[in-house]
Each structure stands twice: as structure tokens, then as C-alpha cells.
A and B are shown apart, each in its own frame.
Chain A
Amino acid sequence: MKVPVEKMRNIGISAHIDSGKTTLTERILFYCGRIHAIHEVKGKDGVGATMDSMELERERGITIQSAATSVQWNDKFINIIDTPGHVDFTIEVERSLRVLDGAILVLCSVAGVQSQSITVDRQMKRYDVPRLAFINKADRTGANPFRVKEQLKEKLGHNAVFVTLPIGLEDKFEGVIDLVNGQAVYFEGEDGTDIKRLPIPAEYEAQYKEWREKMLEELSMFNDELMEMHLEGQDPPVDLIKAAIRKGTLSRELTPVFVGSAYKNKGVQVLLDGVSDYLPAPNEKANWALDQDKGEEKIALEVSDSKPTVALAFKLDDGQYGQLTYVRVYQGEVKKGQELKNMRTQKRFKIGRLIKMHSNHMEDIDYAGAGDIAALFGIECASGDTFCDDKLNVTMTSMFVPAPVISLSIEPVDKKSGDNMSKALNRFTKEDPTFRTYVDPESNQTIVQGMGELHLEVYIERMKREYKAEVKTGMPQVAYREAISEKAEFTYVHKKQTGGSGQYAKIGGWFEPITESDYAFESQVKGGAIPNEYIPSCDKGFREAVKKGTLIGFPVVGVKAVVNDGASHPVDSSDMAFSTAALMAFRETYQKAKPIILEPIMKVAVEGPTEFQGNIFGSINQRRGVIVSSTEDGSFCSVIAEVPMSEMFGYSTVLRSMSQGKAEFTMEFEKYAKVPESVATQLKKEYEEKRKQQNR
């Protein structure tokens, strides 16, 4: 069945951990009629909420991986993309934000706008995602949705406007007042499916009038007709009110606020009506691709089935039936039997099976139109890959992937774990390009690399739970780099005579520091001093040499090697002789080029109540950090700093304990910078000791 694009909604549900996101998702799925019983998060029945497909998430009651689920509410087809709640998984969060057109921001009536809500909200702002706010848990002791709505204004800068109000609060929470329709809505029956729309109770009449007035006042900014009617004291019709809310929401100048309790089955259906009425269809949001023929220049995509196809693989899932690839179709259509090209691998593939997913069951479809989300079976690809029609050369994401900043050695405890570990690593590296793995040729250990301590920890956990791979981990290791700081000239003769044909190569030139790339090679050899066929051998030798510096054994970056002179022997010169000469020339000259050690510096953002600002300053100062800026906004502060990765181990624990758990931080790679002399000396000493031990 073809779904008209204006009836589609791609939404995310985003929240702070424990705001009740998973419960809300579960209720939405239930009311949309796709699942037949409601399971609680950490439920006693041991089943767990449907969206949490991973065991780890089930146990922690949080959602780490995004999954996409299609549901129908009245005449709208809603794809729900479950966005990760944890901020450390940048790539995952950003990827899921990319594919959604609108979102529900879930907030807790008691805890209000928490620091993580701020982070997630900022990310949504960056992707221009229109939002509805759902103030959940109105049944909890201490619930105060009015305060939370104010926080939406103060802390998040939203023009937050109530469209529903609570009838009673805490244990007296009974239902909601629908300010748009002017009705009291009650959710009766065991699962709240029996909706009763009644006149507003007399004791709420005054409150209703007050807040409806406030709502109409805000809405009159978005519709002239409504403004006129409002000024003349007429009551605007429901359609006009809805149109104004929709306009304000789509332009992100207004955030409609809903109140409810997902756990008590109250207010969710009204929120779903809000999703249908106020969040955008795929063709109401601009989407861009990067033109690979024009240096990643942005080009607008058109939500039209007849255009050439552009789709983004935003999530992989290893189900019981094999690999599932979730795609969002941005332009054109995706059909069974169609051939598309993976832009990263440049390989063509044919779509065998196309499905729509619920968390636990699937439905075969023949076709997914522009704007829709579907899943493909058995496609060899990685997350973030773009699938295109042959006519196009565009990608949805930049081909640039940041280099990992931390590594960890892992060792399976037994053979079975070893086999499972390989499977797990194979899967994870496909899912997440910032997670990498290799076998260290010297120690023969398996090394995993990633973007932070927690990033690696979660994968280790997932290995254990999903793949039954028990591993022992080593100490986390920072990805240092070495670099030269001065130009240094070299002349090197490699000569060996050991019976039979010998080895002879002479090369001359210099090394110089560069910033444009990690490594560059240039030949300025004139008059055949080095025969042409041996020039690439020099390059090969240098490349081998920069793989491992002699200061602390890390790769050397920012080096340009230039050869301008040399000599050869008609019999004894060879490819190997020249590459060995290059390798040795580098090692011999390295010290002359004043090598330095570089360390990854992370951009760290710490957020918390102002009362802890002094502690935050102190903790960053202790970690060799540089505080770039601090911002105080009411009772809340955020501090931006640059801190060496090596100093960030265990910071989450420290921060939690010094702020009574109220401060949080995020970090991302910023740059490589020279380590201070004292640290360099220490690192060199440790490397020397390690080498001595190995030699013994």
C-alpha cells in the first residue's frame, strides 16, 4: 500500500534517563494496536518493554540502541525512532536525530528539565527538529507540571505553551483538560483505552479559561485570522487553533506542552493526536545530501517518489533472521528487486526483502516511498552508509570519521568466548565507524578503539550479554601520536654483503613537519640518481617507519619525506634495499627532527547547578584542563573546557560524587596537542621499561 507522504510522521522520543521514555513508547505502541499487552520496564513478568530489544537495556531500564517501529494512529502512519538516551554515544544519537522529522521531548513532572534534557534538546535544535513536550509522571508525589513548563522556557528557551492541563495531581491525577477542544478527557478501563470527553468540571472552569486565554494569546502570533477573532472576543474554531499550533511548532517558535502519566495510562492518546496534528510530514522539512563530485557541497533533496533514490542506512540489527538494515528514504523510492549502490563501497546490490518493523515482529512490504522508513534484509553494509541510484554521487553523511582516542586490550576467557568475541567485534565495527578493532602484531592482543571510556565499556558489556563473550580487559590506553617539530636532513647508505647478491641503496633528502596531512612524500630526484622504479620503494619504507615512532612507540604524524639524491648499484640494488634504506634513514634522523609527543585533547562540556561551579572548575584544573568558557543561566551553569583524554578516566564517578549526582558531562574529540615536558618524560620512561620487559 502506498502511504501518502503527508500522512507519514517520523518521530523520536527523547528524554533524560528515568523520565519514562520507554514506558511512554510502550503505551504508544499499545494504543496504536500493535502489541497486545503492556509490559513495564524492569517488569515483574520479565518481558520488558517492547522497544528495548537488547538485554542490557532491559536490565538497566534504559535504551541505548535506536530501533524503528511503525505504527498507525487514526489516518497517520508513524515511524517511531527510539533515540538513545545516553549522551556518550554521539554517533548513534546524531544518526537517529538525522532521520526524524519531529520529536516528543519527555520530561518528568517531578525532576523537571534535567541536564541531559538540555543536551538532547540542544542536539535537536542543531538538527532543526520541531518538538512537542510531554510532561510525564503527573501522578508522582511532588509533581508540578507548571514549574516544568516554566523550566522549558527558562532553561531550554522554548516558547512553551500548554495545550493540555492536569486534572488533579499526584495521587489525585485523574485526566487532562484539552485546552484546544475545551473538554475534560478521562482515560478509563483497565489500560486507559476507554476515552471519555466530558464538559470541563466546574472547579476547573477558571483555570481552563486562564490558560486557554494564554494559549490563544501566544497562538495569535501565528495566525492573523485567529488574532482578529481573539481581539474581538470571539472564540476561534478548533481547526484554526490547530493550524496555528502546527505553524508555530513547524517553525520551532512554539512548543505545545502535553501533560500526562504514561504509567497510569493517562494523556497518551491526546499526545498521539498532537503528533498527528502538529508534527511535520517528511515533505515539510528540508533535507540535504553532500555532493561527492563537488567537494561535499550541500544539495537539497526532494521528497518525491519519481526522483532518483537516496536512502540512509541509519541502523543495523542482528536479528534471528540475519542482518536487518534500517533505512530512511529521503528521495525516490526503495522497492523489492531494485538495484542500488552503496556509496561507501561503491558496490551495487539488489534488494531482496523489504520490511516494516515492529520491535518483535515484521511485515513484508514491496515498496517504501520517499520520506518513509523501512528495513532491508541481508544487505552487506555499515551504519551511516548511503544507498543511491546509479545516476547520483551523493552521500547523506560526511565521509569523515574521527580517529579513535582511546584503546583497550581485550582477551577472551576461553575458546568459546573467543569465537563469540570475533562475531561481536565484526558486528559492532559495522554498526559504529568510531569503534575499531585490530590485533597488535607485537603483543598479539586484540585491541578495541573508541571515542571514550564509556563508549568502550558499553561494547564490552554488550559482548558479554548479547554474544556470551566473556573478556578480560587491560588498562585503557590513550591514542598518543608522535610528530617531528623541525626539518632534518638525511643521507643514508644501506649496504649488505652476505654472499650471493648483496643489498645496496643510498638515499638523501629531508623530513619536515606538515599540518595538512599525517604523511606526505615527494621525490625531487634528478638525473636518475635513484632509478625511477625504486622511488615508490622509498615511499614504502618511510610509510613503514612512521607507523611507529621511537619515543613511545606510537604512530608519527605530520611528516613530509622528501628525497632529492641517492645512488644505486646495477646488481645489488632492489626494492627491498631502498625501502630498508628509507626506513633506517627515518629512524636515524628522527631525533635530529626534535620529535614530540601529542595527546588527544577532548572538548568537555560539564553542566550542573551553579552551586557546584567551584567544584567543577577545580576538577578541570586538577586534570590539566583549560576552561574555555563558562555560562551561568539562572541556577544552572555549563562549563566548556579542553582536557587531555588521559586525564578524563573515571571523571564521571568523580563528578557524580562531588555534585550529589546533579552534574553531568559530555565530551568529544577536539584536537591533538603537545604533551607537557613532565608528562613526556614519564611516558618515555614507561615505554623504556615496557620494552626492557619485553626484551627479557
Chain B
Amino acid sequence: MVRSELVKQSPLRILDASTNGGVGKGNVGVLAARHGVGKTSALVHIATDKLLQGKHVIHVTFASRTVHIIDYYEEIFTEISKVKDLAGAMDLHDEIAPRRTVMSFDQKTTNTAHVIDSLRSRIHSGGFPAELVIVDEFDFLHADLSDLMLFKSFAKEEGLELWFSISLDQEGDFANQPVPVILERHLVNIDILINLRHHPDDGKVHLELVKDHGAKPKDMHLVLDTKTLLISPE
């Protein structure tokens, strides 16, 4: 398969189609799941899809070492190229790798304003026209409403999309309700919310669209393949 087809046939086009074209510039998407379900893999798949479209991606992490995140990107790319039998995978890899960068912060000693300053500095001083910023494992529990608003106005100014992930440690967080408790107060600033939930009946991890801008959320029929860690059609 060649690259243009790969982008066209990506299961992420289903996500785009189900959500009126995806998160959109200046908007915020959130991926929520319990620990260890595969949030980072799903985010890295979303990021890799953007990279394949020729776009620049910044991956912000608070929890992991940067090497660990880079490994995720390598693995997801390898999986995609294997599953889709990608032509010229090596060259394509070398072409997209420079368009991704990982920025790691210590959540204890930095605040949102500082993270945004550093992102701006990376974009402008570092000549890196990012179109997607991923904020992995964001601490929604301790964040103020203003934090997400700061991120949103940054995304609007820079014309980029934001994807956050949140780890839900307690079962009670969203056991019986679509919107995780921690996110309730932030929901007003979230444009797309997707829960990544393990369904014991079919043993699969499903992507459940909980909020889609102002529209009624549809069933996307997407799962996270537990073997390849790629987002796939049900």
C-alpha cells in the first residue's frame, strides 16, 4: 500500500466522519481510560496519522521518560507498516520522524502557563509549525478550569488541535456514566470526549464517543486492537 491510500483508508477517517471532521483547529479532544488500557497507543496512532499527512506533532508528557514515548511512535509506525504492507516504509519513517517531537515536563514544578510558553518557544524559535499537540496524562483532577481555557486559547492562536489523555484510576470514575467524574466540570471546554473502555462481553477495548462538539454522539464502531495497539474498525 502506498502512503496516500494509507491515509485515505485509515480507521481514523471513521473517527473524522463520526465527529464532523475531527477535533478541529483551536479545539480540545480528550481520551479517557483506566490505567493500562492503551491511551498512549491510541494517541500515538492519531499522531502518526497526522504525521503521515505531512503535519508536525508535539507530544507533551508529564508521566513518562521521553525515550519511552519515542519507542511508542516507533512501535506504532512499525505496526502500521506491517499491517498495511506499506511500500518504502524505511524512507517514509525517515521522512516523518523529524516532524514529531516529545516535550517532557515535571508536573510538580511547572504550571500550564509555563508549558504553553515552552510550546510556543518550540514552535516559533525551533521552527516547528505544529498542527497537533498531544498532552498525555494531563492532571485534570488538580487542574483549574482556567488551565484548559489557557490551552484552548493557545490552540486558537496557533491554529492547532489539542488531544489530551486522562488516566482514570478508580473504577467509580466512569463505571456507570459516560462522562468520567473528574471531567464533569471541564466538559464545557472539551469538544470531543472519547472513552476507551474494555467490554468484558467481547473482550475488546471500544472507543465510545461521549461528546461530539454540540452534536449527538454517534457509535463509531471503533476498537483498539489489543494485539497491534492500533485503532481499528470493530
Contact = CB atoms under 8 A, between A and B. Distances in A.
B118 interface: yes
A516 to B, nearest CB: 14
Contacts of A240: none
B106 A632 contact: yes
Nearest to B90: A515
A627 B97 CA distance: 10
A629 B126 CA distance: 12
B110 A621 contact: no
Nearest to A635: B109
B122 interface: yes
Interface stretch (A26-34, A105-113, A376-384, A612-620): A612-620
Interface in A168-207: none
A626 B97 contact: yes
10 tightest A-B contacts by CB?
A617-B126, A629-B66, A614-B121, A629-B102, A614-B125, A626-B98, A618-B125, A621-B127, A631-B104, A617-B125
Contacts of A630: 66, 101-104, 118, 122
B182 interface: no
Interface string A635-660: 00000100000000000000000000
Interface string B105-141: 1100110000000100110111110000000000000
A627 B126 contact: yes
A629 B101 contact: yes
27 contacts: A610-B118, A613-B121, A614-B121, A617-B126, A617-B128, A618-B125, A621-B125, A626-B98, A627-B128, A628-B102, A629-B66, A629-B67, A629-B70, A629-B101, A629-B102, A629-B104, A630-B66, A630-B118, A631-B66, A631-B103, A631-B104, A632-B104, A632-B106, A632-B118, A633-B106, A634-B109, A640-B66
Nearest to A622: B127
B70 A628 contact: yes
Contact of A632 (B105, B125, B127): B105
A673 B94 contact: yes
B106 A621 contact: no
B106 A617 contact: no
A213 B186 CA distance: 45
Interface string A588-630: 0000000000000000000000100111011011000011111
B125 A629 contact: no
Nearest to A633: B106
Contacts of B110: 632
Nearest to A673: B94
A627 B67 CA distance: 13
Interface string A248-290: 0000000000000000000000000000000000000000000
Contacts of A628: 66, 70, 101-102
Contacts of B125: 614-615, 617-618, 621
A618 B118 CA distance: 13
B103 A620 contact: no
Contacts of B101: 627-630
Specify which of B67, B105, B126, B127 lies most central, judged by the most chain A CB atoms within 10 Å of its CB. Answer: B126
B102 to A, nearest CB: 4
B111 to A, nearest CB: 12
Nearest to B110: A632
Contacts of B105: 631-632
Interface in B67-110: 67, 69-70, 94, 97-98, 101-106, 109-110
Nearest to A619: B125
Interface residues of A, number: 19
Contacts of B66: 628-631, 640
Interface in B122-175: 122, 124-128
A598 to B, nearest CB: 12
Contact of A613 (B67, B69, B94, B118): B118
Contacts of A626: 97-98
Contacts of B128: 617, 621, 627
B109 A633 contact: yes
Contacts of B94: 673
Contacts of A621: 125-128
B185 to A, nearest CB: 28
Contacts of A615: 125
B129 to A, nearest CB: 12
A628 B66 CA distance: 9
Interface in A435-461: none
Contacts of A620: 126
A684 to B, nearest CB: 22
Interface in A85-100: none
Contacts of A673: 94
B131 to A, nearest CB: 17
Contacts of B118: 610, 613, 630, 632
A615 B67 CA distance: 23
A631 B126 CA distance: 15
Nearest to B59: A629
B102 A634 contact: no
A345 B220 CA distance: 66
A626 B127 CA distance: 10
B112 to A, nearest CB: 13
Contacts of B127: 618, 621
A510 to B, nearest CB: 20
A418 B171 CA distance: 77
A618 B69 CA distance: 23
Contacts of A640: 66
B100 to A, nearest CB: 9
A11 to B, nearest CB: 30
Contacts of B122: 617, 627, 630
A673 B90 CA distance: 12
A610 B104 CA distance: 13
B96 to A, nearest CB: 11
A634 B94 CA distance: 33
B126 A618 contact: yes
B230 to A, nearest CB: 23
Contact of A634 (B98, B106, B126): B106
Contacts of B109: 633-634
Contacts of A610: 118
A597 to B, nearest CB: 15
A632 B67 CA distance: 14
Nearest to B94: A673
Nearest to A630: B103
A611 to B, nearest CB: 10
B231 to A, nearest CB: 24
A631 B122 CA distance: 12
B35 to A, nearest CB: 23
A614 B122 CA distance: 7
A17 B98 CA distance: 35
Contacts of A617: 121-122, 125-126, 128
A620 B67 CA distance: 19
Specify which of A610, A627, A633, A673 lies most central, judged by the most chain B CB atoms within 10 Å of its CB. Answer: A627
Given A614-B126, A617-B126, A627-B126, 14 more contacts: A613-B121, A614-B121, A617-B125, A620-B126, A621-B126, A627-B128, A628-B101, A629-B66, A629-B69, A629-B101, A630-B103, A631-B103, A633-B106, A640-B66
Contacts of B121: 613-614, 617
B91 to A, nearest CB: 9
A631 B124 CA distance: 18
